[in-house]
Structure formats: C-alpha cells, structure tokens
C-alpha cells in the first residue's frame, strides 16, 4: 500500500510537440523504466509519485498531454490550475524547438502567473543527431525566465532532477509567499491531516461521485 | 501511469474551493457546469457544447473538430446519458474520418464508464489490432478484464447461493 501522508499536492502538466518524449519522461520518472516505441498519447495520461523536498512529502499529480494538434483544445483544458509546467522539445528535431514560443504562450495564458515553467531538451543521449545546441536553448530559457535542463528519458539522465527542481521552485514560492495557496488555480493543495486513499478514477462513471 | 486522466475525484482535490463553490463563474451558469461543476471536464464542457451547437445553428452542421471536443466531454461526464451520447458521436466520427485510434479508444472508455464491458472490449480489441502495443489500450483492456472477472465471480456466488436456497426449499417441500 502506498503511504498517503504527504503534506502537499502539486499539479504538473507536460506539454510540447508530438514525439518529443513527454510520456517517456513521465514513465521514466514514475516507473524508472524506459518505454521504447511508445505510441502517441490519446488525450491525456496521468501519473503520480510522492517525492520529498526540504523534509516535506509532496505528491506530484502529473497530467501528460497528447502533442497532436487535434487534441489541442482538449489538452488546453488541463493547463488550468497547474503549479508546474514541463515544456519539452527534442534536441534532435529543430522544429520541436521552434514551436516552443507557441507552447510558452499557451502556458503563460492558460496558467496562473506563478506557475513554474521548466524547459526540458529531451533525447540528450542522441548526441550525434543533435539539431539544437545547449547554448541556444539555454539563452531562450534565460530570456524567458525558465529553468532549463537537457535530459534523456532513455538513460534517465536529468529526468528525476527536472521534476524535483520544479517542485523545489514551487515549494520556495510557497515559503516566500509569492504563491498564494488560497488563490484560485494555484495548483497546490495543502493537506492538514493524513489524506484518505484516493481512487484515481479508473472505475465506471456509475460509481463515481464528485463529493461537492 | 494511468490510461486516462481522472475526471472527478482527483480534480476535486486540486481545484480550489473558490471555483468549486462558484460554478456560476462570471455570473454565467451553464448546463455543463451544473452537470460536472467540480471537474476540469465540467469547466470546459460548456464551451465545447456551445461551439458545437453554434456551428449547427449557423451552418446546419458541426465540424469534426467541434464534434470531437464535445464528444470527449460527454464520454468523461459523470452522467450516463452523456456517456451514451458521447459514444454515439464518436461512432459517427469513426464512420466518417481519420481519427480511428482516438474514436475507438473513447468509445471503449465510454462503454467502460457505463459498465458495459463486452461492448468496451469489442472497441478496445479493435484499437489493439491497429496498435498492438498501445499502452493506454492495453491498460484499459486489463481494467475491463479485472472488472469482468469480478462480476463473473459475484454472478457465480449469487447463482451458487440461489441454488442452495432452492435446494433447501425443495427439501422442505418434500418433507411435507
């Protein structure tokens, strides 16, 4: 049985072009395994993991969105109330990097001003096929006030770090007061007592109540 | 990882009470918000519903895109009537377009949410024929199997229990 005595829940979304490895990053983070030839996500997938930041247990609820254009309207609905957004491109495909400004515009418009946006250049293991330099992406990140890491869902390099660094920034924002937990759509919930087990919705509609 | 994002319970955890208590946000109260006021799906449903209906009103028919978005909300709604309507819309889209894998998945998900597992299985198997390694489809398939075997066990227990009662009844009648 999982332990549910975490003190915070942070909501994350993962966004970026089709095929940049969003689902593989999430799978690597939650299952510590690489998924080879992963088909395109239909709609959204969902993963959770409890991590520890500054001695506090934090449950990350991660919404992994489909990169396909046809899902854009649907996936945009999940941006609402995200505390963290992981924006992913593929270091071996320049087009995925060129589209970042449009992803960033969406993220800025659809989340709250305190949402932490983290830029990930995935597939860093494919050095020989590199199409975007580290320096170039770092400059883009700096210009736009994003934290940036190159990572590899395949080898696991920097995957853990990306998710945890994002949580550290969010936690810092809570502590210094810039993230107001009572504000609508902060994407953070504080648990005052051990929470009951939460069913993750994989059950028929007939049984599910929304409790409000 | 889960094959589908939660629609109700977990969303309730994360959407602040400010929104939950104010489903009539901006002074406008939409049908969709009443239906599903505390989920992400509920919050966007009114928009997708309006876009779909506006197109029908203005041009006589909706677009595949608008239909797709609205059908998605319906399949994920907490209400069975919505789920059924969503399945019908995805079936229309399946017959007309190039969105096979998405339509098959959401039809299967709709039937799964309705508890109609044999129907759900038909569509998830069709998806697995196209994409045998689709993880979301494999997980949905496994979830259906789990619930079907549970239902079968309960069914067997009920039948077993009934036959004992009938048996006892016959014995009592014979004694008379």
What's A128's domain CATH number?
3.40.50.300
For residue B17, pLDDT over 60 is answered with no
Interface membership of B14 toward A (CB under 8 Å): yes
Mean pLDDT of chain A: 87
Contacts of A38 in chain B (CB under 8 A): 135
Residue A2 resides in a domain: no
**Share of residues in chain B with pLDDT > 90 (%):** 50
Contact A96, A20 (CB under 8 A): yes
Strand, coil or helix: A184: coil
Q: What domain count does chain A have?
A: 1
Residue A198 resides in a domain: no
Distance, in Å, from the CA atom of A90 to the CA atom of B174, rounded to the nearest integer, reads 79
Tokens representing B151 are 């239902």
Tokens representing B120 are 């759900």
Tell if the CB–CB gap between B1 and A26 is shorter than 8 Å: yes
**Share of residues in chain B with pLDDT > 70 (%):** 77
Residue A181 resides in a domain: yes
Residue A210 resides in a domain: no
- Domain interval for residue A81: 8-192
Burial bucket for residue B170 (CB in 10 Å: 0-12, 13-18, 19+): exposed
Name, in order, each residue with C-beta under 8 angstroms of B116's C-beta and a sequence gap of 6 or more.
none
Of B9, B67, B64, nearest to B40 by C-alpha is B9
Residue A123 resides in a domain: yes
The distance of Cα B102 from the centroid of its chain, to the nearest Å, equals 14
Distance, in Å, from the CA atom of B68 to the CA atom of B86, rounded to the nearest integer, reads 9
Among A8-17, A26-35, B156-165, the least confident range? B156-165
Contacts of A27 in chain B (CB under 8 A): 1
| Structural domains of chain B in order of their starting residue, each with its CATH number | 9-150 (1.25.40.10)
Residue A94 resides in a domain: yes
Nearest-Å Rg of the Cα atoms of chain A is: 17
Strand, coil or helix: A11: strand
Nearest CA in chain A to B43: A77
Interface membership of B172 toward A (CB under 8 Å): no
Contact A89, A132 (CB under 8 A): yes
What's the confidence (pLDDT) of residue B169?
78
**Share of residues in chain A with pLDDT > 90 (%):** 66
Residue A21 resides in a domain: yes
What's the confidence (pLDDT) of residue A180?
78
Q: How many CB atoms lie within 10 A of CB B58?
A: 8
Nearest CA in chain A to B20: A212
For residue B32, pLDDT over 80 is answered with no
Contacts of B19 in chain A (CB under 8 A): 184-185
Chain B 110-139, residues with CB within 8 Å of chain A CB atoms: 112-115, 131, 133-136
Of A161, A153, A37, A29, nearest to A89 by C-alpha is A153
Tell if the CB–CB gap between A205 and B114 is shorter than 8 Å: yes
Interface membership of B1 toward A (CB under 8 Å): yes
Residue A207 resides in a domain: no
What's the confidence (pLDDT) of residue A164?
97
Write down the ipTM of this complex.
0.81
The distance of Cα A31 from the centroid of its chain, to the nearest Å, equals 15
Q: How many CB atoms lie within 10 A of CB A61?
A: 25
Q: For residues B149 and B109, which has the higher predicted lDDT (pLDDT)?
A: B109
Q: Give per-residue pLDDT as tens, A155-203.
A: 999 999 999 999 999 999 999 988 877 766 678 877 765 444 444 444 4
């Amino acid at each position: 049985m999982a332990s549910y005595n975490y003190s915070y829940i942070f909501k994350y979304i993962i966004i970026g072009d089709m095929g940049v490895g969003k689902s593989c990053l999430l799978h690597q983070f939650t299952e510590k395994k690489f998924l080879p030839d992963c088909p395109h996500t239909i709609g959204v997938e969902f993963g959770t993991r409890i991590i520890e930041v500054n001695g506090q247990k934090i449950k990350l609820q991660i919404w992994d969105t489909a990169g396909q254009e046809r899902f854009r309207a649907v996936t945009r609905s999940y941006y609402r109330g995200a505390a963290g957004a992981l924006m992913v491109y593929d270091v071996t495909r320049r087009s995925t990097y060129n589209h970042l400004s449009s992803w960033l515009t969406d993220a800025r418009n659809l989340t709250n001003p305190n949402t932490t946006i983290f830029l990930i250049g995935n597939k860093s293991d494919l050095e020989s096929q590199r199409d975007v330099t580290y320096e170039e992406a770092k400059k883009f990140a700096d210009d736009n006030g994003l934290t940036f890491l190159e990572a590899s869902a395949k080898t696991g390099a920097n995957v853990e770090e990306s998710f945890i660094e994002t949580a550290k920034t969010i936690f810092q924002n809570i502590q210094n007061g810039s993230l107001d937990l009572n504000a609508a759509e902060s994407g953070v919930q504080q648990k005052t007592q051990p929470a009951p087990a939460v069913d993750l919705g994989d059950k028929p509609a007939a049984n599910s109540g929304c409790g409000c | 990882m889960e094959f589908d994002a939660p629609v109700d319970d977990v969303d309730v955890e994360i959407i602040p009470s400010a929104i939950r208590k104010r489903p009539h946000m901006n002074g406008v109260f939409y049908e969709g918000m009443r239906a599903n006021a505390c989920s992400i799906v509920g919050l966007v449903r009114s928009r997708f519903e309006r876009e779909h209906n506006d197109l029908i009103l203005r041009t006589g028919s909706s677009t595949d895109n608008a239909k797709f978005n609205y059908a998605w909300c319906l399949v994920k709604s907490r209400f069975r009537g919505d789920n059924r309507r969503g399945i019908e819309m995805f079936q229309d889209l399946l017959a007309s377009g190039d969105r096979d894998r998405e339509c098959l998945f959401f039809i299967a998900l709709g039937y799964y949410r309705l508890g109609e597992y044999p129907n759900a299985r038909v569509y998830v198997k069709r998806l697995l024929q196209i994409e045998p390694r689709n993880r979301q489809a494999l997980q949905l398939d496994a979830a259906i199997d789990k619930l079907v075997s549970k239902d079968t066990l309960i069914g067997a227990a009920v039948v077993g229990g009934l036959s004992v009662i009938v048996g006892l009844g016959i014995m009592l009648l014979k004694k008379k």
